[in-house]
Amino acid sequence: MDLSLILKRLEHLEAHNAIRNCMNRYMQICDDLDANTDLNALMDLFDQDSIWEGVGEKYAKSFGRYASWQAIHDMFQGYTQAQSHFVMNAHFVNSEQIQIYSNQDGEEALGTWMMLQCSTFQSEASHLNAAKLRVTFKKQSDGGWKIKHFQTENIFSRPVTHWHSTDELPVPKTDALKDQASVG
């Protein structure tokens, strides 16, 4: 049994978990992006030499490219004004793939996800977007992982009329459910 191989595998498992946690924290903060958002918490997820960009015809035009930590900070600051851009925002990510590799800059990782985003804006319009995410992470000197290059590419976008409805949920009715509802 080669202990160095086991330790390397453990290091990769820990890296996968740290990268996954970084991405989940990013999405969690973006879900609640408003005037009360702590931009330092969001920006702490980014490497000092980072890039954030929309790619592909639709997102390159809509989002553009931000090629420094400060430019990314300033872009997100635009979403944290007193009159918040989002009234509701929910990101769902899946189909995760993470690959760890070494290069001349040290250890890095490439993560890809599929994302579904449901949003309602201050204008009261709502939108459903699907995107491919391609994110490069860099291992930091303290052993943590941060976003080095974030790319989002639109798959589809469509307006929707609204997310929340007061209509009754379409579920089968049984006497047992009626009994539980009358107790609660």
pLDDT of 183 above 60: no
37 vs 144: CA distance, rounded Å = 23
Question: What is the sign of the dihedral through the CA atoms of 14, 98, 138 and 40?
Answer: negative
pLDDT of 1 above 90: no
pLDDT of 179 above 80: no
pLDDT number for residue 175: 66
pLDDT number for residue 18: 97
Domain boundaries, the chain: 3-164
Read off the pTM.
0.87
Helix (H, G, I), strand (E, B) or coil at 77: helix
- DSSP annotation of 59 reads H
According to CATH, the topology of domain 3-164 is Nuclear Transport Factor 2; Chain: A, (3.10.450)
Residue 180: band (very low, low, confident or very high) from pLDDT cuts 50, 70, 90: low
Helix (H, G, I), strand (E, B) or coil at 139: strand
pLDDT digit string, tens, across residues 65-124: 999 999 999 999 999 988 888 889 999 999 999 999 998 888 999 999 999 999 999 888
Residue 6: band (very low, low, confident or very high) from pLDDT cuts 50, 70, 90: very high
pLDDT digit string, tens, across residues 131-154: 999 999 999 999 999 999 999 999
> Cα–chain-centroid distance for residue 59?
15
Residue 138: Cβ-neighbour burial (10 angstroms; 0-12, 13-18, 19+): buried
